């Protein structure tokens, strides 16, 4: 698909900066996340990337990467340009065997981190990746393991999302915030979709899946999450009852975590 203008601008700035300071270092640049599903909302989406380097970066190359990311952050701070820089050998094996890599998260660069190094990214690269530079990636070049993807998703529900739910219960005012509604409602729905169907989807795709997968009593909070993501100027179904937004976010998150964990256990 044609890149959205904001994405084209961000990737062009990065590639121009790195090519000027370290010619030939970045052999491939691939976008994943919701972009791979044809979805991008300028005020909500990030630009998630994986770059493939010609060789493991030395001190000069690491400095060049840091400077290129600083150029992007300075000239175009949003959307965030987040991801990591690998060599081909890193992608051939499972993510847990991958070393720490140069990466950025929320636009902040670090020389060695693990942001994005997980089975979801590996699968998205092969099955939904958007090529900006380099050859298309295949399963011969990127390790994919559907059982590992399911296990990762199941663990994500039982660890990260269960912790998030406890925080929502302790801070209901935060659960009512639009960002929390979008993050939680669509986030747990994505994992339920994976555990139920075996396939990845975008955040908006997860919301539309939730409208069909769960009882109609949950439709208001799902529609609210989609509104926040896709059209914040549209009226909210909670305008007349804002206090229920937190309650519904907390209850929906708990319901989907429980349903996803039970579903995953039946499939394991």
Q: What does the pLDDT look like over 47-68, one tens digit per residue?
A: 999 999 999 999 999 999 999 9
More confident residue, 247 or 44: 247
Q: Is 105 exposed, middle or buried (0-12, 13-18, 19+ CB in 10 A)?
A: middle
pLDDT of residue 59: 97
Query: Does 32 share its domain with 78?
Result: yes
- 133, 158, 173: which is the final residue of a domain? 133
Above 70 in pLDDT, residue 1? no
Q: What is the mean pLDDT of the chain?
A: 95
Does residue 222 fall inside a structural domain?
yes
- 101, 133, 165: which is the final residue of a domain? 133
Lowest mean pLDDT, pick from 8-22, 48-62, 232-246: 232-246
**Do residues 119 and 148 lie in contact, with contact meaning Cβ atoms separated by under 8 Å?**
yes
Above 90 in pLDDT, residue 146? yes
Query: Does 154 share its domain with 125?
Result: no
pLDDT of residue 85: 98
Name, in order, each residue with C-beta under 8 angstroms of 136's C-beta and a sequence gap of 6 or more.
129
Please state the rounded mean pLDDT for residues 107-122: 96
Place of tokens 């690269």: 125
Does residue 177 fall inside a structural domain?
yes
**Do residues 120 and 200 lie in contact, with contact meaning Cβ atoms separated by under 8 Å?**
yes
pLDDT of residue 139: 92
Please state the rounded mean pLDDT for residues 143-154: 96
Query: Does 174 share its domain with 77?
Result: no
Above 70 in pLDDT, residue 264? no
Above 70 in pLDDT, residue 268? no
Does residue 139 fall inside a structural domain?
no
* Confidence category of residue 265, pLDDT binned at 50, 70, 90: low
Does residue 209 fall inside a structural domain?
yes
Name, in order, each residue with C-beta under 8 angstroms of 142's C-beta and a sequence gap of 6 or more.
91, 92, 122, 125, 126
Does residue 140 fall inside a structural domain?
no
Residues 32-47 have pLDDT tens digits of 999 999 999 988 899 9
Please state the rounded mean pLDDT for residues 194-207: 96
Comparing CA positions, the residue from 110, 115, 108 lying closest to residue 80 is 108
pLDDT of residue 43: 84
CATH of the domain at 43: 3.30.460
Query: Does 127 share its domain with 213?
Result: no
Comparing CA positions, the residue from 155, 177, 131, 146 lying closest to residue 15 is 131
User: Is the entire prediction scored with pTM above 0.85?
Assistant: yes
Strand-pair category, 26-32 with 47-53? antiparallel
Query: Does 78 share its domain with 154?
Result: no
**Do residues 109 and 64 lie in contact, with contact meaning Cβ atoms separated by under 8 Å?**
no
Query: Does 119 share its domain with 166?
Result: no
Does residue 213 fall inside a structural domain?
yes
Query: Does 79 share its domain with 11?
Result: yes
Does residue 161 fall inside a structural domain?
yes
Query: Does 162 share its domain with 128?
Result: no
Query: Does 122 share its domain with 197?
Result: no
Query: Does 182 share its domain with 121?
Result: no
- 133, 167, 184: which is the final residue of a domain? 133
pLDDT of residue 234: 87
Residue 49 bridge partners (DSSP):
31, 83
Name, in order, each residue with C-beta under 8 angstroms of 10's C-beta and a sequence gap of 6 or more.
47, 72, 76, 79, 81
Q: How many domains does the chain have?
A: 2
Does residue 141 fall inside a structural domain?
no
pLDDT of residue 237: 85
Nearest 10 degrees: Cα torsion 37, 40, 45, 47:
70
Q: Is 209 exposed, middle or buried (0-12, 13-18, 19+ CB in 10 A)?
A: buried
**Do residues 82 and 116 lie in contact, with contact meaning Cβ atoms separated by under 8 Å?**
yes
Range of the domain at 70: 5-133
Alpha helices, DSSP H, located in the chain:
5-21, 59-75, 88-92, 119-128, 146-156, 162-170, 172-175, 178-197, 203-213, 219-230, 243-267
Residues 175-199 have pLDDT tens digits of 999 999 999 999 999 999 999 999 9
Query: Does 94 share its domain with 198?
Result: no
CATH of the domain at 204: 1.20.120
């Amino acid at each position: 698909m044609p890149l959205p203008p904001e994405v084209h601008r961000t990737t062009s700035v990065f590639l121009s900066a790195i090519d000027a300071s370290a010619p030939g270092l970045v052999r491939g640049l691939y976008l994943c996340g919701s972009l791979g599903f044809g979805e991008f909302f300028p005020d909500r989406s990030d630009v998630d990337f994986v770059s493939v380097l010609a060789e493991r970066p030395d001190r000069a190359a690491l400095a060049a990467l840091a400077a290129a990311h600083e150029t992007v952050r300075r000239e175009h701070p949003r959307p965030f340009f987040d991801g990591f820089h690998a060599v081909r050998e890193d992608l051939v094996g499972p993510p847990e065997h991958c070393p720490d890599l140069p990466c950025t998260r929320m636009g902040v660069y670090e020389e060695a981190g693990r942001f994005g190094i997980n089975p979801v990214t590996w699968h998205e690269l092969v099955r939904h990746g958007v090529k900006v530079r380099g050859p298309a990636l295949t399963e011969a070049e990127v390790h994919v393991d559907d059982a590992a993807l399911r296990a990762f998703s199941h663990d994500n529900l039982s660890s990260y999302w269960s912790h998030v739910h406890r925080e929502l219960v302790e801070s209901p005012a935060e659960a009512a915030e639009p960002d929390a509604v979008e993050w939680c409602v669509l986030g747990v729905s994505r994992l339920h979709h994976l555990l139920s169907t075996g396939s990845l989807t975008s955040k908006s795709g997860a919301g539309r899946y939730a409208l069909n997968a769960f009882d109609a009593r949950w439709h208001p909070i799902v529609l609210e999450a989609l509104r926040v993501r896709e059209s914040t100027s549209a009226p909210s179904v909670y305008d007349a009852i804002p206090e229920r937004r937190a309650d519904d976010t907390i209850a929906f998150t708990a319901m989907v975590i429980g349903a996803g964990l039970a579903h995953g256990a039946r499939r394991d």
